[in-house]
Structure 1
Amino acid sequence: MHRTVAALLIGLALVAGCSAKVEQGTAKPVGGDNPPVAKVTTAPADGAADVPVNVPAQVTVAEGVIDEVALTNPEGTPVKGKIADDKKSWSSTEPLGYGKTYTYAGRVTGTDGRPVDLKGAFTTINPAVQVRATLFPGDNQTMGVAVPIKVEFDADVADRATVEKALTVTNSAGVQGSWAWLSSREVHYRPEKYWPANTQIHVEAKLYGVPYGGGAFGRADVTSDFTIGRHQLVKIDTPSHQLVVQRDGQTVASYPASFGKDADPNLATPNGTFVVMQKFDTWSFDNPQYGYTNVVKKWSVRFSNHGEFIHENNDNAANIGTNNTSHGCANLLEADAKAYYDSALVGDPVEVTGSITTLPPQFDWYDWQIPWSQWQSMSAL
């Protein structure tokens, strides 16, 4: 009897001892039932639709660091991106594609040491229309001091302000200029005065992904780097019968010329500041209204889309230097026409005075016929 009671007491004591030990050492596995502390944010968010393609995708983490991130297109190709030095964020470094679903994957580690998986997907916008833009001048060209910078679109631009904000011009001379919309498909840039000689110019049209309005978006970015050459201009005072070439402020040539007929406003060489647009070794002139077609002349330099050129016309030698008898062009003797042709750059200004006719600003390139204040008002911004 005494042995049984003693054994029972010893057993109870052992049970009580085990129970006390568990209570004193109570602990849950690291983290237990608490959620991980790391908080991951993605932009675009999981499930987002109609996402812009020209805004970087981003992953950020609070109370943790990024271990790895992958953003892949439908073909499984990763989008290029970079984790920040502090490992708190990741950003894509290349544009996204139109109308594609992208998938996030990766992992972060919280300050509690626990990992969190990154998952999600979003879809980019799929434009109804993608508009192509072209830029002039192109790369590595040397242009005259009056050259305009032109961006032309293959469809109308409804939201001109948004598009214009995507256009930038920088130059080595620090010259300021302004964009002006000449139509719903064409915008030009020029400074108040001619470009300084030898200026280096960089143009960026960051148009990919830009909304043009009406469901249209930019198809691609375009850029250009070109140079302004020496400062050369042509001065034509029609009653003088002389075509004067000035370079860097000095007269370097004065050629006898015959300009448009003085008494006929339809044929007179018009007043205005024009720009050399094209050069041709030979050019065929046609004007059936005045009775001639396929009249081929050498060393032809176009300075207006109204039809004006500087060119050789030895057939009119008797009037060159004495009478204005052309249909609006500047006629020179062949040797003089060749000498001028060789000196001319696209973009050189041609300043005409003394005529009975002044053209309205509507025949390319008419940028310099528009007063500066009016030009600035033609910006969409």
Structure 2
Amino acid sequence: MKHVLKRAGLGIAAAAAWTGLVAGAAGCTADGGLGDLGGLGGLGGGKGRSAEDTIRVTPEDGAERVAPDGRVEVRVPSGRLERVTVTRIEDERPTRVPGTLSDDGLRWRPAPGTRLALAAKYRVDAVALDGHGRRSARRTTFTTLVPEHRFIAYFAPENRATVGTGMIVSLRFNRPVRDRAAVERAVRVTADPPVEVAGHWFGTERLDFRPERYWNPGTRVTVDLRLRDVEAAPGVYGIQQKTVGFTVGRSQVSLVDAEAHTMEVRRDGVLLATLPITAGAPKTTTYNGKMVVSELYDVTRMNGATVGFKDAKGKGEYDIKDVPHAMRLTTSGTFLHGNYWAPRSTFGSANVSHGCVGLRDVKGGSPESPAGWFFDRTLVGDVVEVVNSRDRKVAPDNGLGGWNMGWKEWKAGSALR
């Protein structure tokens, strides 16, 4: 089975969801609600069932403007819930929402009297067991109501994360920013050891920060958001006053040669391995350029209908419910992922995908496969560069693609120049 995908767009998520940044890419896409949790081997409560069927979450994934006393519930139609956590994320101190499971294990609800915070993002992680002892896992997010005439920033990476050297600090605002200089001046990104860091605006709702070159391993980066009472547009004021940070881990840069069908993985400049790959087919090529891993899924679902690959009846030309070892490279749907459906001889010899980079894997995913080996050695923020593909260079706002801009051009995108 060929792994197919058309060009599409997805916006940057504050920890994981990216919206409004349609960039027209060829690649693959994942259903963000189907990420496997805790190393579980698979999703879905039975043959042909997805995690959405097995684990039902209210509010729905990606919901916005949820009231502080709105309904929050996780339930399963059968079997039982094994674990549920609801956590306020993207805050200096991630906080769990207290709650309890029903006696029959079919439902989780917050403790009586619990109120959610305003202008906050929450993540729901749930694991369930069906009657045959099979586990399903689901992760969703939602955001709560932002008071009228207020703006906030959703940011990546997550607070206290350890990331690769290619990580770019990315802020997405819930309202258009007219006074970009005032907002950029209120965001301070510093590094230890010190290095110059500059901002670059993509439109009126996204502001990214990066140094001239990849971060040095071991660098500690601090992001000070001093947006409270900053006027982003007439009558629209900020409410955030927080400090978050992350640590840069080791350097890992992987070079995909689409013509040679190989990927060279280098750790701190030393070649670890050369892996056989398959890239985009001649009519659906893979982007060239530097891309940064922004999400990791042990297993996820990829459906062509979500990115425009539909048959005559409007259904997806493919729907793979258990793609293993998936690593997002662009918001428009380019992934580097495990592939168990192509013949073994494909890898290293032919390009058959519709934009993604495929590594050999087995159904269910194996740590012993090339895809499993690479996945286990990958951090969010690692760089994957594609060369010798018959496609254009990836756009700098398609995922964390800002490394495809020169330093002078990057700094020219600052409102403080």
Shorter-chain TM-score: what band? 0.5 to 0.7
SS in 1 for 2:371: helix
Q: Secondary structure at the match of 1:240?
A: coil
Determine helix, strand or coil for the equivalent of 1:338.
helix
Distance in 2 (alpha carbons) for counterparts of 1:196 and 1:312: 29
Give the C-alpha shift of residue 367 in structure 1.
1.2
Matches within 5 A, 1:142-157: 142-157=162-177
- Alpha-carbon shift at residue 201 of structure 1 (Å): 0.9
Q: Distance between the aligned counterparts of 1:370 and 1:220, measured in 2? A: 30
Equivalent of 2:379, from 333, 338, 345?
345
**Contact between 2:200 and 2:414, CA under 8 Å: does it hold in 1?**
yes
Identify the residue that residue 277 of structure 1 maps to in structure 2. 294
What residue identity is the alignment partner of 1:344?
A: T
Q: Which amino acid aligns with 2:155?
A: L
Matches within 5 A, 1:340-379: 340-358=374-392, 359-379=394-414
- Are 1:329 and 2:349 an aligned pair? no
Structure number with larger C-alpha Rg: 1
Letter in 1 for 2:265: V
| Structure-2-length-normalised TM-score | 0.58
What CA RMSD, in Å, does the superposition of the two structures yield over aligned residues?
1.6
In the TM superposition, 1:48-127 aligns within 5 A as none
Cα offsets for 1:210-231 (capped at 9, x unmatched): 1223111111213212100000
Q: Distance in 2 between matches of 1:136 and 1:374?
A: 22
Q: Please give the secondary structure, in 2, of the residue aligned with 1:161.
A: helix
**1:228 aligns with one of 244, 248, 253:** 248
- Cα shift at 1:362: 4.0
Deviation at 1:295, TM superposition (A): 4.8
Counterpart AA for 1:150: S
Q: Which residue of 1 aligns with 2:5?
A: none
| 1:129 paired residue number | 149
Partner SS state of residue 336, structure 2: strand
SS in 1 for 2:178: coil
Alignment of 1:185 onto 2:220: no
Q: CA deviation at 1:193?
A: 0.7
Whole-Å Cα distance in 1 between the matches of residues 148 and 346 of structure 2? 60
- Does structure 1 conserve the Cα–Cα contact (< 8 Å) formed by 2:291 and 2:383? yes
Structure 2 residues without counterparts, runs of 5 or longer:
1-146, 311-316, 362-368
- Displacement of 1:128 after TM fit? 6.8
Partner in structure 1 of residue 324 of structure 2: 298
> Is the 1:128–1:215 contact (alpha carbons within 8 Å) kept by the matching residues of 2?
no
SS state at 1:226 partner: strand
Q: 1:129 to 1:144 in 2, by over 3 A?
A: same
**Unaligned stretches of 5+ in structure 1?**
1-126
Question: Residue 259 of structure 1 corresponds to which residue in structure 2?
Answer: 279
Residues 38-97 of structure 1: CA deviation (Å, up to 9, x unaligned): xxxxxxxxxxxxxxxxxxxxxxxxxxxxxxxxxxxxxxxxxxxxxxxxxxxxxxxxxxxx
Figure out how many residues of one structure are paired with residues of the other and give that number: 252
Question: How many Å separate the matches in 2 of 1:362 and 1:210?
Answer: 25
2:278 partner SS: coil
Moved over 4 A (4+): none
Task: Please state whether the residue corresponding to 2:218 is helix, strand or coil.
Answer: coil
* Inter-partner Cα distance in structure 1 for 2:153 and 2:242: 7
Deviations 1:231-264, CA, capped at 9 Å, x for gaps: 0011101111111110000111111111111x22
Percent identity between the two aligned chains:
31
